[in-house]
Amino acid sequence: MEIWINPACSKCRSALHLLDEEGADYTVRRYLEDVPTPDEIRAVLERLGLEPWDITRTQEAAAKELGLKDWARDAGSRDRWIAALSEHPKLIQRPIITAEDGTAVVARTDEAVRDAMSR
């Protein structure tokens, strides 16, 4: 199991605390430092069953600068969104846990973290 975190994020710290409490075996990826490639983002999106705009933090300054609220949310725009997430990793929703069964979850709640651990 791998968890993508921003150490400054309270939801990420909470997820790590719960993983540690439960004795989970996991690897931490500080995705602001170890920035995911577009292909890695595509793979995580596939595991999540989501589109890039579904995991985009649209209230971030970079999102506003890019004008993301006006971007199309369709198949033809998918690569543009993925490129933006790779170029501006702060836009990626966090934390994301890739589960052992090949799926992934956006683990913003204790319930989601436990769900990832049970997979």
Catalytic residues: 9
Neighbour-count burial for 19-51, b at 16+ CB within 10 Å, e otherwise: beeeebebeebebbeebbeeebbbebbebbeeb
Chain centre to alpha carbon of residue 110 = 16
Distance between CA atoms of residues 57 and 109, nearest Å? 16
- Cα atoms in the 13 Å half-sphere on the side-chain side of 66: 21
Among residues 101, 113, 90, 92, the alpha carbon closest in space to that of 17 is found at 113
